[in-house]
Amino acid sequence: MESSISQVYAAEKIFTGNEWLADSAVIVDDGKISDIIPSAALKDQPSTKYHLIAPAFIDIQIYGAHDKLLSVYPETDSLYRLYDYCSKGGASHFQPTVATNTAEVFHKSIDAVRAYWKEGGKGCLGLHIEGPWIHPLKKGAHLEQFIHSPSVEEAKDLLEYGKGVITMITLAPEVCSREVIELIRSYGIIISAGHSNATYDEATAAFDSGIQAATHLYNAMSPLQHRALGMVGAIFDHATVMTSLVPDGFHVDFSAIRIAKKILKERLFVITDAVTETNAGPYQHHLTEDKYEAAGILSGSALTMAKSLRNLVDHVGIELDEALRMVSLYPAQVMKKADSMGRIAKGYDANLVILDELLEVNRMIN
């Protein structure tokens, strides 16, 4: 059997996730990175030398794209549209998300992911269910008629139906029993605390007991006040919990991102929280000033991961290498995928994004 021909991608600079390499090339064989070498060591020089090669981005919270919200159209076409949208924004992988809804919608969305995988669809990490087990006072744009505390039986039914597909659940820890939380964890699902009115003590106890992440820092969670530190204070003060953030300037002021970054360092990562224009279903998102609103409430972003990266660099003042980690390596760590993606290293999957001088996506390799 003949071996495949190695693919060579050379660039003025490569960011591996750990370090910068100048005038180097990534060698890819059968979808895996087989080597990273100086361009001068290449026997045959490639006709194209790119500006910058970095690990492809990973978006673990996005709801729909190209006029199809997954919860409204729980079918494979919605996921292909999501993959196209994410790829054009530099993300090789995405975690489609369904907000607070009915069990029927969750089941159909689970079915859609299974079918997408069966068809060979690329990039989908699994399904992120955000709600309905959240606090009604922190519902944001989520619909209150669906919000409730789960019984063990309800949780088990959903987990069994979504076994192998559900990869993350956002919930408010103060409305879920310890039994429910332990049950979710037993299925290997990542729990993210969000849409929560937890006190500092409640949130800290939840993080100490094994909840490893939090959903969209500052948004739809109890705020940090000087006598009531809330979930924001607990996230800031915890040693290990990681939290996502939406860096569009609407969900969070850029100065607030800068402050959070100083405190959280490598525990802060990016999601787009992106939705799409829709007039169907219970969540009707409409574009307003480069963000989406539903019934006049901020309901999602119009970000891509590449736009998020530029915002971190241009408006927050984060160094490019760290901003690149926030859109690639850190999400991979949250999803426990950092042994195969989020870096450019021998043996890793060849998920690469090629960026120009303006940090616009030139090409995706995956």
CA–CA separation, 358 and 25 (whole Å) = 21
- The CA-atom distances, in angstroms, between 298 and each of 231, 235, 253, 312 are 20, 23, 14, 21
Q: Which residues contact 54 (CB under 8 A, 6 or more apart)?
A: 14, 15, 324, 328, 344, 352, 353, 355
User: Active-site residue 321, yes or no?
Assistant: no
Q: Are 324 and 332 in contact (CB under 8 A)?
A: no
Place of tokens 């992120």: 128
SS3 state at 285: coil
What is the DSSP code string of 300-331?
EE---HHHHHHHIIIII---HHHHHHHHTHHH
Report the Cα 363 to chain-centroid distance in Å. Answer: 20
User: Which token pair is 53?
Assistant: 């090669």
- The CA-atom distances, in angstroms, between 281 and each of 80, 85, 261 are 20, 21, 36
The one catalytic residue in 59, 248, 273, 349 is 273
Give the DSSP H/E element, type plus range, for residue 243: strand 242-245
Amino acid identity for residue 116 in this structure: Y
Considering only the C-alpha atoms of the chain, give the largest distance between any 2 of them, rounded to a whole number of Å.
69
Q: Residue 2 class from Cβ within 10 Å (0-12 exposed, 13-18 middle, 19+ buried)?
A: exposed
Active site residues: 273
